[in-house]
Structures are given as C-alpha cells and as structure tokens.
Structure 1
C-alpha cells in the first residue's frame, strides 16, 4: 500500500522509484545539526540542543520563538529533566536555522483528519507527512505545536548529553558507565568521586552520540510537571530582555514608511523633496510591495521621530490596491451569495441528512457571522537590517526564520548562508509574525543605507491597517430533533477565504489549483466529537481581495462560536439542560465528557436561567471545544448591571492538554487566551471604507481592560498522555460561552461578533 501510494505521488519511472525508496527510509534524526553549533571559549556543544560551559552553565538552544507563551521555559525543562541538570544553571539561546529544528507536528496537525479518526489511510498519511516535514519542512512557531513537536527530540537531546557526560566520567575514572549516575549537574560514582558538568563537557563532546538514548520514566520526573517560574522573567523585569524593537547596533539609522491606504497598493509618483530637506533625513525613496504586503515611501533618518515626522510632508499618488471599493456590507453579501450558490467541499459526512431532516419533529435553522480581525500585538511591526560586503544581518522577531532568510537572500541575490538572521524575543504575535512582508521590506530599505544598519518601525496605525487579517466567515446550520428532543440531523456549511492557499502563494509561489483543501478554514467544525447519526459539514472558500493570515486559533476561533452557540440553540429547542444535552452526544468520548463534567462541577452548574443576586440578574453559559489536541470547557457567569451594562463576572475553565509540563505556564496561557477571546467577542472588528481599514488605534480596536476583566478559575486535568497545544486552545470556547450566557440572561440570541453590548467597568481581577 505504501509503495503504491508513493509511486502515484512521485509519478512513473525513476522519479517514482526515488520517492518509493525515500518513503521506505526511517525518519531522519532530529538531534545533530548539519553544522556544529557556534561555541564560545570554554564551551562545548554535545548536540544540536545542548551546550555546556566550564562554569557549569547549560545552554539550551531554542528553535521556537518566545512571544509570551513561555515555550523557552517549557522546552528548557524537557532538556534539563533528562539531563538531570541543576535548574539554576540552565540558560537559553536562539538556535540557528537548520533542518533538525523543522516543525513536524504542525504539518501533521494540518492534515484533514478528525482526532478520533483511525485507519490505515490516516496512519500512512501521518507517516509520510512527518517524513516530508522533517526533510523538506521549515522551522516554525505556531499552531500551539511547540511542546507537542519537541517533547521527544528535546528529551532525547538531554538524555544523549547525560549519557555522554557519564561516558566521559567513566572513561576518566576507568570505571563502568553503569556504575555512574547524574544528580543536579554532577556525575557521581559509588566510590565517592564526582565531577561537575563543566569539568566533563569537553571530554563529553568527544563521546559518541547514543543511538537510542534511554528516557526517564515519567514517575521519576522532578522538573516536568512542576510550576516553575518563567526562565526569562527576570530579564523582562529588569529590562535586559531584548525584543525586536530593542535592537541597537552601532551606527543605527531609523526608517519609517508611508504605505498605500488600500491594501496591496503601490506608489505611482511621489515628491519627497520637502522631507529630504529636513534636518536629520538621510534618504527618501519608494519601496515595492513584498510577500503580499503594500508598497510605500520610506524615509531613513538619524532618529525615529525625524523619520516619522517626515512622512507628514510627503506628496504621494497611489496605485490603489485590490481592496479598492470594498466595504463590510459587500463582504457579507459576497459570503452569503457564495453559500447560496454552493455548500462547498464536504469535510465530514455520514448517514442521510436530508432524509433525517424530512422526518424530524422539529427543524432549527440559524446563520452566524464573524468579521475580519487584526492581530494588534503590543509590539508593533519592526525589523532591523544591515547590508554590507555582500552579506546581510537581520535582527528579526519572526515565527518563520527559515522562510524569512530565504526571501531576504532572494531579494538581495545572495545565498541563504550569507544571511545572518538573528532571532529576537517577540512582544506578542498571534500569527502576524508568520508573515515576512515587513522583514523583506526592512531589508529593501536597509539596502539604501550604504552599509549602515537601519531599524524600520511601523506606527500603531500602520500595524493595524496593513495586517493579514483573520478571515470574515459566514456559517449556516440546519438541524433536526425527533419528538423526544434527540438530535438526528446536522447540516452545516460555512464560507470564508482560504488562509493556507494565499500564504503558500505569497511565500512559496504555489498557485491555487482549486482543490479547496485548506483544513484550517473548517477546523473547529468538522473535527468536533459530538456523536450525530446523520451529519454533513462542509466549507466553501472564495476569493476576496483582503489579505488574510493565521490568527490565534485560526478556524477554531470562529467555528467554535458557530458550533457551540448552535448546540445551545438545539438544547433550548429540546427543552434540555445545555450540559446534559452535550453529555448525551459524548457517550463514546470519555475525555471530552470528563472535561465537561469537571467545569460543571467547578462552576456549581445549574440550568442557565436568569437568577437574582442582591437584585442583580445573573446567568451562566457553557461551551466545549477541542483544538490543537487539547479539550477545553468553559462556564461563564454574566450579569446585567445598572444601566443595562453587561458584566462578565467569572470564567471557569477546565483543560485536558495531556501531561502538564508546567502548570504555571498553562494557567498563564489559558488566562491570556480567555482575555484575548473576550476582546474579540465583545469589542473587536475591522471596518473597511472604500478598501481602506478604518481602525488605527486600540481606542478603535479595543481590548478587554483591567476593570472589565473577569475572575478566571482554571483547572488542569491530570493526564499521562502526550502533551498537546495550550497557547490557543482556550480561546475558542469563550465567545460561545458568553453568547449562551447572554441568551439565558436576556432571551436574545447573538449570532454575530462582536456582540457590541455596553460593558460594565468595575473592579475585577484575573486569578487562578
């Protein structure tokens, strides 16, 4: 079966034979890099993840971006656990670009299978995808895949280093390796001899790499599972942490850029003479649109304030981008018309939905809609670059360093190895740094600086108005209940733009061939656990000129709102408790049922009818969702305060994310995702006026403020399973949980985001 599939994939003859042979090989190792790690004097590299210095410090190489999710701490824990290092000696550093750091599980996570789907086809496809990602993929931070992907290789890296240190000590002491052990950064022997990691590192680096390192029994873990504090926390407190915006190489110049108001536009003509005459201005010139971005006029100056102020005196005529003439009403009309014409590709179906609907005692229909959303990360878009002597140094905060390096090299006409891309901490990304438009743009600007480094910094309005937005999406439901209120038919079709197709086109020049197989647009709809006898779930993708990208939790961010809100509508129509109704659809999904029951217990669940607390009306809503391998359930308590102002009082959240590597990080990410999702549910929307984005500041694209934030209670389910995604998994359920609570409170069903209700501002805290 494998040979036949690979033969067909590769074509006939020699190409097919090569593909067959490649497929039959075991996956390549992920421990030793293609080139030795750079080391400082007194430092030795034991593999692609571990360096040990003679002062006993252990540096763990980080091949994923730290953008507030705590992955550097979690990944360092994996290595330190297997290495038996002293946690106080652990340091982290950014890894170079190398194939061993390719993100394998993110590719597997994008395969079009339901989590509970089994069979030979899925097994072979996953095998092939893992090999493909390891050999031809890229290093990427996204899809809540970091711990999932590196759980095995980083533990193996630590275990290999431990074995090599033991081997070095045994050789020096002329004893058997089996007689030695490691404890907190030292190798010990029964005779009383001991040596620190630093004393053994140089000799250990000359030891052979173990072929099959022995990993610890989880029952013996002493670090994994503990709520350790963030490894970079102290540097963020004392200001020594370096984000992209903090890069200050010698001789630095600064650049700002005025970009076409309509997305994807370019410069027709401009007059920069007045700007060029301003004190401190070095250069004024036009810049093309790169990697799906927008063209503009750049100003290089001695400082950023001069560069930004010079933009005000530019005279520019634009070639309008493809969004010209577009507005929100037109977008909704296009989406609606597309679903009128076709339900699209069926991602999941079984039974006979039409026949079941015909015999249903009750038929319920609904339509839901969500708008475009910006990422609006706290750190605005920036990049620093220096082009000198045929090489490039790029200081970038990016989620895709290899892709960025590739496009920089292409722009400059040099080899990728001549581009030194230095990864920085990221002040929030949420998917925006999966794009490289701003990096290539910054390099194009620095190319005009005669060898001096240039930092290109976007203003907040530029960041907000030149994003790659979460797609607008429309979803339609039709379901049937029998006379006993049992769900017997479910038909759901949604429509949006394709993210994967457009991302691949602008970054790899792979054209859309119309296969309509972007799983991310339907994730959160077709892959949920509810057991239905007759079901059809499909998605249609359409072309719209708005640039779209990966936004935190991607398709789950809106499909969960659609699905869980409509499930609640069915529970009401069936005259059943919303928790009990969901539980009746999870008889074969014990993991999901356990999470649902846990959140019901945490919240003291009662039927979500309005009740009074000292004269204030309260209600609860519930939602359950699986995303990125984790199962999350939430109950929200809302009330209507004086002046009909909505107050979200408490959010109860239960999460099963597999083995909890660091409960402290998990709680932080769950709380952050809930606040992020609340902001989108209650406030945020991108508005188009004649093709230009209206919103420019947080005052217009608002976030939940401290005095609006609910108390958040998080319970982490115990598990021995493979760790799963956390950073995005808790976002999807919050919008439907609030919507369902609002219905219980007001009798009004909110089917469009944001809810645009008046919010109560009072004292509230976020807590665990």
Structure 2
C-alpha cells in the first residue's frame, strides 16, 4: 500500500503509524530482472489445484515487502487470482459487495484481459490486507462510487499479468516463443492448434516472474467489458441461497442483543436484570461501553429470540443528564436563525445586483435526517481465542472499511492489528452505514465479546441489531436547511444568487476532516452546488454541533444540493416562460458536453415535447453530476387529491465506459426508487427530547415495490475510463418529480418529504 507523504500527514496519528508499520522499506534486490521473484509471488497449492495464490488472510502487518522493482501489493496477481486444476478462476475483489454488483464488474475487467472462460469465473471478498486497498486512495474503503472507477485499470492489469505468466509457462513447455501463442476462453493456443488449459499451466506459471509492465487490449477487442452480463451472485440471491454477515454460524456461537440509551451518549443509571436472567437460554447480562461515550445493557443468549426476550424484560434507568437532547422543531428554529446570516464561504461572488434585479426568488428548503435502513441490519460476529501473545480475534461482517474496522477492533480488544482477521461477508445493503469512521457497531461487538469472555463465556458471539435498533441507532444523513435569494432578468439570466446552507458536518472528527474541510466548509455539504451552470453565486455554510450522529448516505451531499439546484433552475425557466430543457441546455452551453449529451438522450427517449401526455399528467426534468457520472431524468407524474404519483421515468446516463451495462441499469433503477423514497410521506427521522420518534417501517417510510414507476435506462456510449455508478442515480429523481408536481400545482415542494397541503 502506498499513500503519498502529503496525504499521510493529514491522517490521524494512529492511522499514520499503522500504515507506516505495514509498509517497511523494501529490501535490497537479490535477483536481477524486471519481474517479481517467486517468493514474493506467493505459491499456494490446494487440494484441487495450484493457485495464482492469495495473501494470507490477515491484517495490515501481514503484507509482503515490496520488491526492488517497485510492484505494489495491489499490482500482484498473487493476491487476486486463483486458478484450480479444473480451470476455475477465482477472483478476489477488493471491495464490499452490498448489492452494487462489484463482485461481477471487477472480475469482468480481470477476466477480459486474462481471456478467461467466463463460465468458470468465480469471485470472493478480500480482507484488510494491504493488497486490497483502493489503489487510488490507499485505504480499505468501499464508498464514493469508486470501486469500478478506481480499480478498473488495476484489475485489467492483474488479468494481463496473469495471462502473460500463463503464456510464458506454455512457451516453456512447448519450446516455442511466447509471441507464437495466443489465448482464448481459458486456454493457451499454440502452433498447429495445440491447447493447454489454464488449470494445467497454473503450477508452472506461478514459478515465473511477474511482468512489471503489460499491454492492455484495445477496447475494440473486448468480449466481456461493455456487454450486458449476468451477475455471478444472481442465482444465489434469487434462490435464497446467498449468505450474508447476519447468517454467520459458528460452533457454539451465542447471540447478543443490546439495550441502548434512548438519547445518544446516555449511560446506565441502574438495571434490574432478574427477569431477563430468568428467561430460558439467556447466558449473561452485561454492561458494555458503546459509541459516543454511551453505555448499553447487553443480553447474551443461545439465539436471537431468547436474547431479544431478555432485552425486553430488562428494567433500565438511564442517565441522560450530561448529553444534549435534540428536538426537531427547536433545531429547525435554530437552523433558520443561522441561515439569516452568511457562514463560512465556499463561493464569494458579488451579489449586490440582487436589490435591483427585475425578478426575484426567495426560497427556503428543508431536508430531514434520513436513516440508511439496509435490508440486512447491522451485525458482527466475534471469536476470541488464545491468551497473551497468542491471543487472536476473528470478525465476520459486511464491512465497507475493513482497515478502519481492524484498527477499531484492535483498540477495543487490546490486540495488535496483525492478530485480528476480518472475514468480509456479502452485505444486504449498506448505502454508507457500513463505512463509519468510528466503527461504532464493530466497537460494540468487540466490547460485547470482550465482556463475555471476562464473564467466563468462551464462545463466539454474534451481535445483531433489530430493525428498531437500526432506525433509532443514528448515523443519519444530516438534516439540512437551504436559504436562497436569487435575482434574474426577463430572459432568465441570473444576476445574483445568495445561498446559505445549514447542516452538520459529516467528516468533522473523522480521518477525512483534514482534507475534506477547507476554510470551515465540509466539501460533502456543498458538492453539487452551482455546476454545471455559470451562476454568480455566493455560497456559505454553517455546521452546527448537534447530538445526533451523522454520516454519508447514498450520494451524500447531492441528496439535497441536486434537489435545490434543479428545482430552482426549473422555477426560473417557468417564471420566464421558457422550456426547462432548452433553458438548461442554453445555460450548460458547450462547457459540459456530458451533461448536454445525457439530457438530450433522456429527452429523446422519453418523447418529451413530442408525445401528448394523458390528462392530469406533467413532465418533470432534472440533470445532475455526482461521483464523476451524470444522470438525467425525464419523468411523468400526476397529483390526485393532493397525493403525487410518479408514473414513468426515462433515465439518461453518462458514466463513460459501462463495464457491465446490466449493473448500470440496476443501479439507476435502485437509485431512482431510493430517490423517490425521499419524497414519500413519513420519510423523515425526527427527534423529541433527544429521542428518535420512529422505530420500524410502519412509521419510517421507505419506497416499496408498489411505488416503483415504469423506468427505462439509456446509456451514452463512450470508450473513456469508467466513472462511478453506485450513487449517481439517486440525486436527480426527487427534483424531476418535484418539477412535474410544480407544473401541475403551481407550487414548488420546498420540503422533503413532499408536503403539498
């Protein structure tokens, strides 16, 4: 793993130390040549065949030293490719798959250059080993829609290096030059049509040096990349056979359920656990430190049901005297007061033209806290073994940041990181909640396992959150308030735009603070503002301190900035009697060709302006860039008796090269439904006296199958390097829907979820 010195010095000291310890200076080379030596290229033999290996399962300190030729662990096939004797190719993926399809997309990139037989390709998750860091960021992280974007070339090169070694092994066996050979469908083909399968060559190939440089295919040669391909996990997931972190089962395993304080950071004042201990199957009741200085009472039992029954039987008195008690109504009043004055500046355009502008818009927007609510609630299984120097810990969970989670576990358990192994499991959703800088649920699970062992329990412990725990458990998308004052002329030219955003910072206090907060502005709060429109905007931000834990939520700042920008742009178009598509295209001009192309594609495919809509329906349009990809939506909506309904969605997508168009389509469909969910009544986390008022899907709304409109996804063709698609489908949906509603009702919905009454 490599992080440049400037980035390294901005990380927390503990993280700096761990990274430095994991990357000792490379030893002097003892062998000539450009390739990696055999010992560095790990030799792993299995019962069924020889592998183009895998690093030992473990943590950061288990990294192999970089050889003198400079190839990094992230560049060596040993960690990523295993080829069995029967030709099965298993690709290790350096990201968590939580439904976005990365366990198919990255293997496609590798298999393309390997010329593998796709029918024999499999994939598995990596772990906290340095080989599996994001090669651009240098951190173990699944987030920011970076998996394909940052590892596309990496995995292609891994495939090309592996292929070159297999070809070299075949050339040696046949006594011919490597340039006389070619590969196809998992075989090396020689003169006269002779063939050797990759499984036959793997043992010999693994003894050869790893080439430092390789030539990649011309995109015109692609057989897999760019072609709609079924996901490798589709059968398991559609048949119910897929295992997730919550499905972990170990011999003798116990289950833990925690009673957490009703107010974030609260502590236990007293507890009567007699009724809980009387429940059959309950093994122990423990007091355990948890996130934000709080304390929980934990019931450990033979299974989830007795553990939950035990928790329900607890009588706990909580001490919340030392923590802030947030009230949503009071918080809104505070935010409104802050929004009346400028905050820390992001853009500082001259807004003196506001006073004399012939037309004006004065708008306030409100966005609530949102919970992530993945279908698989948080869970983590911990097994502790050994004593003293022989003490070890193993964790099973769906982790978006196994490196950070390893460090957190090490801190709680008092173990060196190299004695901790994280087994990354498939996750049933995440949307950011499994990538927490505090590793809150990992810390909690390790604290429970440690306390259980101290109480004489020598067994693996699986900690499971209920849906109510998940909804009430914090780390929400922050509540935001926007205030905009806009002056423009009769042609729609914006003369001045004064804008204030109020909302908590999600990176303050995290490893990302030093390079994400500049001049008091958290970059995640303002991403998506202004661009692609040439606007004279003064933009400032207030980041109040609030006792509500917050985190990125799928598409992060764009969840609110896209809504504000695209509804205001549409409002200016309506006020000046201009077509909203033509108005946007005029503003975009030629400086943002991807925005222009994607909007035009969505318009063309939808029939906008050409097709007559049924009575009572209206068009809505929005376009937005996030995570280097651009998505435009053209929607059809109606409003009946004050209830808005989304009927049809046409999406235009520009993510450069779509590695797997089928996954892009799925991500946009899912993103659109999640964006629609933000609009539905009940889609808001509210607090009273510090207590979250919602608990389950009966009172916290998420979009359901019955809400799903007809949707068509169209991708702009491109051969440029791919950009991210896990999140960009979310932001433009809500504003496109709102713009249709505004055309029908004459009123712009200024608050999410929609309140039309």
User: What is the TM-score with the length of structure 2 in the denominator?
Assistant: 0.87
Once the two structures are overlaid, the 10-residue window that deviates more, 243-252 or 493-502, is 493-502
Q: Contact conserved, 1:323 with 1:546, CA < 8 A, in 2?
A: no
Which residue matches 1:737?
736
Aligned-pair CA distance for 1:515? 4.2
Which residue matches 1:300?
300
Q: Spell out, residue by residue over 1:198-219, the C-alpha distance to the aligned partner (whole angstroms, 9 max, x if none).
A: 1000111111111111111001
Aligned-pair CA distance for 1:39? 5.5
Which residue matches 1:365?
362
Q: Spell out, residue by residue over 1:360-382, the C-alpha distance to the aligned partner (whole angstroms, 9 max, x if none).
A: 32222211110100001111111
- CA–CA distance in 1 between the matches of 2:680 and 2:111? 42
Q: Contact conserved, 1:260 with 1:321, CA < 8 A, in 2?
A: no
- CA–CA distance in 1 between the matches of 2:132 and 2:354? 50
Q: Secondary structure at the match of 2:571?
A: helix
Give 2:89's match in structure 1, choosing from 43, 49, 58: 58
Q: Contact conserved, 1:659 with 1:719, CA < 8 A, in 2?
A: yes
Which residue matches 1:547?
549
Which residue matches 1:206?
207
Aligned-pair CA distance for 1:275? 1.4
Q: Contact conserved, 1:323 with 1:692, CA < 8 A, in 2?
A: no
Which residue matches 2:158?
157
Give 2:104's match in structure 1, choosing from 73, 79, 85: 73
- CA–CA distance in 1 between the matches of 2:724 and 2:263? 36
Q: Contact conserved, 2:187 with 2:195, CA < 8 A, in 1?
A: yes
- CA–CA distance in 1 between the matches of 2:144 and 2:653? 17
Which residue matches 1:40?
46
Which residue matches 2:405?
404
Q: Contact conserved, 2:342 with 2:541, CA < 8 A, in 1?
A: no
Q: Contact conserved, 1:169 with 1:200, CA < 8 A, in 2?
A: yes
Give 1:522's match in structure 2, choosing from 500, 522, 526: 526
Q: Secondary structure at the match of 1:56?
A: coil
Which residue matches 1:581?
583
Which residue matches 2:57?
none
Q: Contact conserved, 2:263 with 2:325, CA < 8 A, in 1?
A: no
- CA–CA distance in 2 between the matches of 1:285 and 1:599? 56
Q: Contact conserved, 1:102 with 1:139, CA < 8 A, in 2?
A: yes
Query: CA 1:495 to 1:739, structure 2 compared with 1: closer, same or farther past 3 Å?
Result: same
- The question of 1:102 aligning with 2:133 is answered yes
Which residue matches 1:377?
374
- CA–CA distance in 1 between the matches of 2:603 and 2:99? 30
Aligned-pair CA distance for 1:289? 1.5
Q: Contact conserved, 2:44 with 2:51, CA < 8 A, in 1?
A: no
Query: CA 1:267 to 1:204, structure 2 compared with 1: closer, same or farther past 3 Å?
Result: same
Where does 1:24-35 land on structure 2 (aligned, <5 Å)?
Answer: none
Aligned-pair CA distance for 1:517? 4.0
* C-alpha RMSD of the superposition: 2.8
Which residue matches 1:463?
470
Which residue matches 1:485?
492
Q: Spell out, residue by residue over 1:579-631, the C-alpha distance to the aligned partner (whole angstroms, 9 max, x if none).
A: 111111111222211111111212222399xx873xx4111111110001111
- CA–CA distance in 2 between the matches of 1:9 and 1:193? 55
Aligned-pair CA distance for 1:359? 4.4
User: What is the TM-score with the length of structure 1 in the denominator?
Assistant: 0.86
Gaps of 5+ in 2: 11-15, 27-33, 53-76
Query: CA 1:535 to 1:428, structure 2 compared with 1: closer, same or farther past 3 Å?
Result: same
Which residue matches 1:187?
188
* Corresponding pairs, count: 696
Q: Contact conserved, 1:368 with 1:752, CA < 8 A, in 2?
A: yes
- CA–CA distance in 2 between the matches of 1:278 and 1:621? 57
Query: CA 1:494 to 1:245, structure 2 compared with 1: closer, same or farther past 3 Å?
Result: same
Which residue matches 1:673?
671
Which residue matches 2:383?
386
Query: CA 1:55 to 1:322, structure 2 compared with 1: closer, same or farther past 3 Å?
Result: farther
- The question of 1:602 aligning with 2:619 is answered no
Q: Spell out, residue by residue over 1:441-488, the C-alpha distance to the aligned partner (whole angstroms, 9 max, x if none).
A: 112212214331111111111111012000011112122222433223
Aligned-pair CA distance for 1:306? 0.6
Once the two structures are overlaid, the 10-residue window that deviates more, 391-400 or 292-301, is 292-301
Once the two structures are overlaid, the 10-residue window that deviates more, 325-334 or 61-70, is 325-334
Aligned-pair CA distance for 1:432? 0.5
Q: Contact conserved, 1:30 with 1:153, CA < 8 A, in 2?
A: no
- CA–CA distance in 2 between the matches of 1:511 and 1:104? 18
- CA–CA distance in 1 between the matches of 2:442 and 2:35? 28
Q: Spell out, residue by residue over 1:77-104, the C-alpha distance to the aligned partner (whole angstroms, 9 max, x if none).
A: 0010000000011011122322232225
- CA–CA distance in 2 between the matches of 1:104 and 1:458? 33
Where does 1:81-230 land on structure 2 (aligned, <5 Å)?
Answer: 81-105=112-136, 133-134=137-138, 138-230=139-231
After the TM superposition, which parts of structure 1 deviate over 6 Å for at least 4 consecutive aligned residues?
5-10, 29-35, 510-514
Which residue matches 1:316?
316
Query: CA 1:513 to 1:146, structure 2 compared with 1: closer, same or farther past 3 Å?
Result: closer
Q: Contact conserved, 1:638 with 1:650, CA < 8 A, in 2?
A: yes
Which residue matches 1:495?
502
Which residue matches 1:128?
none
Which residue matches 1:472?
479
